[in-house]
Each structure stands twice: as structure tokens, then as C-alpha cells.
Amino acid sequence: MSELRDQLSIDTPELVAIDFPIAGIGSRFVALLLDYLIQFAFLMLLLFILYLIGTSAHDSARSTLAHANNADQATVEKWVEAIFILVPFLLQWGYFSLFEAFWNGQTPGKRAAKIRVIKDTGRPIGLFESMGRNLVRIVDMLPGIYAVGVITMFVNRRQQRLGDLVAGTLVVHERAADAPAVASSGNRTFTAGAFETVAAPVPRRASTLPMEAVARLAGADLKVMEGFFARRLDMPMDTRATIAARLAASILSKMEIARPPETSDETFLEEAAFAMREQGRLQ
């Protein structure tokens, strides 16, 4: 893995380097401002709803006895106080945490600014990383206007605030090819981002590969292929094709054979992985 001030290059397990342009203070400030405007609009709407509820409760209490009126008013005031304590916390912490965890590392503001949060390994952010980086947000905000966070970003090469350093995340610019070319929401659950990806099953097909060539592969090669199978649906098509080609070339070199005719890179990798499993089972 190599990096410049505004560029991060990560070597994936599939032996391909992927470059990420790191998001600076300017783009992150724009995203944060948009998110705070959305939160402010929500708070104004909430205030209006609470005003209507309070007015209705007051009018209802006026037709009862004086002591009942006081009791109703006290109850309403307690609920209002509780809401005003709870809602800002949920907006400040839950808004960022949930959006980033379940909206591909983005909040509405980040999506508008075309930036996203990822792990420092280049993988998508999960629920635990999102919770960690946003719990530390209160420290980054000290003593005001994100002073601690801005200073921390200036003194590290990846422009990470404290929350990013704690959670092992960073913010990058979204490239045009970042969006998955194949929709994969149908086989994911709401909490899928919180857990490690399970290797996708490889289609079972009759292997035509020589067993002596398959025997030259090691368990580490199978793990690399399975890692590719697990992630390929979330890859842009050009990145997916590049990784498959390089990985197939590496496997073919180790097997010391030529690729079977009329076989794509991915089909060959699927066949090689299946042959390794079959060979392991028969042995």
C-alpha cells in the first residue's frame, strides 16, 4: 500500500492496486454543512409538531379541574424536555452512524459532495466502524467548529480526524466507477454491512483441468480466488475484469498450463476453485 497526500493506493488480495483520491477538508465541510442543514430542517419540523401537541394538550386541560390542568401541563413539559435531550443526540450520532453503515459509506451530504467513508483497507465500511468513528465525533468538535478534527487532519497524511483514526476509516472521493455495476441488494440483509462478507458459492461444473496442475496450487491460492468470488458483484465491471484477468494469469502460471479454449477468466477461476475442492475431498 502506498500513498501521497491526496492519493491512496491499496493492493487488494487479488493482486490489483486500486487508487483512492482522498477527500480534503473542503469537500468534507460541504458535506457536513448539507447534513447539518437537513438536521436543522428536521428539528424545525419537530418543533412545529411539538407546538401543535402542546397546544392541543393545553386546550384539553383547560376544560378540566385546575389541579388536573397542572398535572397535564407538567406531563407535557417533561415529555418535551425528554425529546429535546434525546433527539439532538440521535441526530448527531444516529444520523451519521446509520447512514454511513447502511448507505454505502455516505450520508445525504456526502452523496451530494461525491465522497464516501471506507475502511483503510479499501473495503466498505460496516456498522461497527461507523459507530466508532461517530462516537468520537464529539471529541473532534472540541472546542468548537471541529477544531480538534481539523488539526488532526492537517497533521496526518490521510487527512483523517480522530474518529477515523480510532475506527480505521478514511474519506475518499467517489469515482464514477465506484457504484456497483450489478445490483446486489437482493441477497443482502439490513445488517449485512456489520459483518464480514461470506464467500459466494462457486457454480459446480465438471472440471477439465489436469489434476497434476491443480495439485501445484496451495490453499492460499484458493482463499484468494474465494475472496474474489465474494466481492465481484460489488465491483465495477472494468475493475472486476482487470482483477479476474490478473488473477487468472497468476493461477495459470502456477499451474504451468494454458487457459482452456473458449473459457473466460472468471469461468477458469471457478473451475480451478472447484477442482481444488474436489481434489481435497477425494484425498
Would you place residue 180 in the very low, low, confident or very high pLDDT band (cuts 50, 70, 90)? very low
Q: Are residues 11 and 89 in the same domain?
A: yes
User: Quick one: 138 and 253 in the same domain?
Assistant: no
Question: What local confidence, expressed as pLDDT, does residue 34 receive?
Answer: 96
pLDDT digits (tens, 9 = 90+) for 244-261: 899 999 999 999 998 888
Q: The domain containing residue 40 runs over which residues?
A: 2-173
Q: Is residue 153 domain-shared with residue 199, that is, in the same domain? A: no
User: For the whole prediction, is pTM greater than 0.75?
Assistant: no
Residue among 166, 134, 132 at smallest CA distance from 152: 166
Q: What's the total number of domains in the chain?
A: 2
> Does 117 share its domain with 135?
yes
Question: What is 190-247 written as a DSSP string?
Answer: TTGGGSPPPPPPPPP----S-HHHHTT--HHHHHHHHHHHHHGGGS-HHHHHHHHHHH
Alpha carbons 22 and 262: distance in angstroms, whole number? 41
Same domain, 83 and 185: no
Return d(Cα 184, Cα 235) in angstroms, integer: 10
CA distance 145 to 153: 14
Residue with cell 419537530: 46
Do residue 99 and residue 47 come from a single domain? yes
Strand partners, 72: none
pLDDT for 17 beyond 80: no
**Pair (27, 127) in one structural domain:** yes
Residues 110 and 54 reside in one and the same domain: yes
Given a contact cutoff of 8 angstroms between Cβ atoms, the answer to whether 49 and 79 are in contact is: no
Comparing C-alpha atoms, which of 102, 107, 108, 104 is closest to residue 127?
A: 102
**Does 164 lie in the same domain as 91?**
yes
Residues 106, 215, single domain; the answer is no
Q: What is the pLDDT of residue 182?
A: 36
Select from 151, 173, 195 the last residue of a domain.
173
15 and 95 assigned to the same domain:
yes
Within 13 A of 147's CA, how many CA atoms are on the CB side? 3
Residue-wise pLDDT tens digits, 126-146? 999 999 999 999 899 988 889
DSSP state letter for 19? E
Confidence of residue 207 (pLDDT cuts 50, 70, 90): low
Which of these three, 173, 195, 210, is where a domain ends? 173
**Among 90-104, 132-146, 186-200, where is mean pLDDT lowest?**
186-200
Residue 88 confidence (pLDDT): 76
Of 124, 132, 137, 126, nearest in space to 166 by CA: 132
- 97-104 average pLDDT score: 92
Domain closes at, from 154, 173, 192: 173
Cα torsion angle, 128, 133, 139, 144, sign: negative
Do 135 and 206 fall within a single domain? no
